[in-house]
Amino acid sequence: MLVGAQNSLSVALMAIVFAAAVGTCLGLVAGYLGGWVDSLIMRCVDIMMSFPAILVALVFVVTIGASFAMVVATLALLLWAQYARLVRGQVLSVKERDFVALAQVAGASTRRLLIVHIFPNLVNSVVVLATLQVGWGIVVESALSFLGAGVPPPAPTWGNLVAEGRDVLDQAWWIAVCPGLAIMFVVLSFNLFGDWVRDALDPKLRQL
């Protein structure tokens, strides 16, 4: 169970880190530059978000081959679009503020504007989305492992453990039930944690 937790959490966290990095960069570029660059990136986002996540992940992993790195890359490919859309919307609002205009008048380069002046105002939103997506990543990784398309054996994951235990439910129910409960409680915990982070970072939602 503990080793399976390490593998499942590692896949979800690494995928979210890569997805957040790619999606945030694309969202910054799309929101700040606008024009055809914005249209191109947003159409790619729309295409990615139109596909069913589990089915796309299953097709990629089965076609290319199941491995730890492949599962991480597949989940990151499915997640980056949400960060790009969120960041792009935030950038459209932030870039119209006075401090950005003052930085432009002072001669700040585009890179400096994005990294120093705009990006710090987006960190809270990216962190909240990342915490909420950890649970989603665990669920998708567990589903792939359950179907035999996740992290390949002998590396244990919660999905693999549930799959192994389904054939002996009448004799040893705990083999499948315990990792299933672990998935449920960990996903619920990360969702509650994400809600708390959102409330803590948003001044409008803080309780005095």
pLDDT value at position 208?
47
Angstrom distance (rounded) from CA 79 to CA 22: 10
Q: Is the dihedral of CA 98, 104, 110, 116 positive or negative?
A: negative
pLDDT at 207 over 60: no
**pLDDT higher at 110 or 171:** 171
Interaxial angle between packed helices 2-33 and 174-201, expressed in degrees from 0 to 180 and rounded to the nearest 10: 40
pLDDT at 139 over 80: yes
Gyration radius of the chain over CA positions: 20
The encoded tokens of residue 157 equal 């994951």
Q: How many residues does the chain have?
A: 208
Q: What does the domain layout of the chain look like in residue ranges? A: 2-201
Angstrom distance (rounded) from CA 163 to CA 159: 6
The encoded tokens of residue 8 equal 């499942």
What amino acid is encoded at 207 in this protein? Q
pLDDT tens readout for residues 17-70? 999 899 888 888 888 887 888 889 888 888 888 877 777 777 877 777 777 788
Helix (H) / strand (E) containing 149: none
pLDDT value at position 191?
83
Fold of 2-201: MetI-like fold (1.10.3720)
- Is-contact 5 158, C-beta < 8 A? yes
Full DSSP string of 105-141:
HTT--HHHIIIIIIGGGTHHHHHHHHHHHHHHHHHHH
Angstrom distance (rounded) from CA 14 to CA 175: 27
Angstrom distance (rounded) from CA 86 to CA 200: 19
Residue 11's SS3 state is helix
Select, from the ranges 51-65, 91-105, 128-142, the one with the highest average predicted confidence (pLDDT): 128-142
Angstrom distance (rounded) from CA 202 to CA 195: 11
Angstrom distance (rounded) from CA 68 to CA 74: 10
pLDDT at 206 over 80: no
The pTM of the full predicted model, rounded to 2 decimals, is 0.81
205: confidence class by pLDDT, cuts 50, 70, 90:
low
pLDDT at 187 over 70: yes
